[in-house]
A and B are shown apart, each in its own frame.
Chain A
């Protein structure tokens, strides 16, 4: 299977875009994956679901601005080079 590094970069951008697009109020709270539902208590071990929700929330917060830049660059490059 011929996987190039360029395909990996494309996959990473698409995945990050997908995570960033999940809306907090309209979608995540409706299916029980909202930010406040992840905090279980002050036990020592957050479960897998809490870790996953934390991960989604932090990816959305951190990658919002860089994704704007990366997506703009991608759009320009795809327009220029097809």
Chain B
């Protein structure tokens, strides 16, 4: 029984070593908890009891197969490195990791804020030496977890709604998903274009804008769900509530990033520049309820 475990661990050993090499020591520990302590223990116990005689061991201890294993593992790690480097050029994976560093408490609080943003006072994003703090430590920071999950839930609930009206077919799910995605891309491009035209110098990245535009999917699937459960009346009531709260949420979050310091605190600041920025914030916030209605009304009959 123990010898079985040893052989299994010896076979697993090269793979554990391979996975161990390309890991940066300092990089993921800030965002995510380190759960690799279990793996290290297994490796140590295998090394001490390796050369026990066993029929399968003869093949593994042959020098050529050792060489082949070492070559194979080095080739695999080299390929993995190259793929990581090339992928990092197109999709900034390290920056994406920041947006997914959430925990349950943050998600709960953020969902509560999305549905009821009226009691929250302090909307500032806290910084830590010039970089924004990870979302799990600050409720006001944008994240991508809620938008992605909200999008998927919206697609599933849309499929459910269409199914109850006998309008469902598997292609419809794909059409709904790509349609919503296309509107999201159009909205993000429009916001980027208008930010460029108004020459606003903010630290809003594209991914931040995707996150802010994605928060409306939460409201959308609540509306469709209410429409399913309570009929058209429920849909219109929840549409009203979710639209207003998403509007207020978007204004309060985006205002701090776009407007200058004084205007964001609520004091009236004269000047064409601030007025233009205020119009831009209002336009971004108004686009949210419009999309929320546009993308859901055909699902509720």
Contact = CB atoms under 8 A, between A and B. Distances in A.
Nearest to B180: A3
A8 B186 contact: yes
Interface of B is mostly: helix
B181 interface: yes
Interface in B70-110: none
B179 A1 contact: yes
Interface stretch (B1-9, B12-20, B194-202, B251-259): B194-202
A10 to B, nearest CB: 11
B149 interface: no
Nearest to B189: A12
B167 interface: no
Given A1-B298, A4-B179, A8-B185, 20 more contacts: A1-B179, A1-B294, A2-B175, A2-B179, A3-B178, A3-B179, A3-B183, A4-B175, A4-B182, A5-B181, A7-B182, A8-B182, A8-B186, A45-B273, A46-B199, A48-B197, A51-B196, A51-B199, A55-B196, A55-B197
A48 to B, nearest CB: 5
Given A2-B175, A2-B179, A3-B178, A45 B196 contact: no
Interface of B: 175, 178-179, 181-183, 185-186, 196-199, 273, 294, 298
A2 B186 CA distance: 14
A1 B294 CA distance: 9
A75 interface: no
A55 B179 CA distance: 28
Contacts of B175: 2, 4
23 contacts: A1-B294, A2-B179, A3-B178, A3-B179, A3-B182, A3-B183, A4-B175, A4-B178, A4-B179, A5-B182, A7-B182, A8-B182, A8-B185, A8-B186, A45-B199, A45-B273, A46-B199, A48-B197, A51-B196, A51-B197, A52-B197, A55-B196, A55-B197
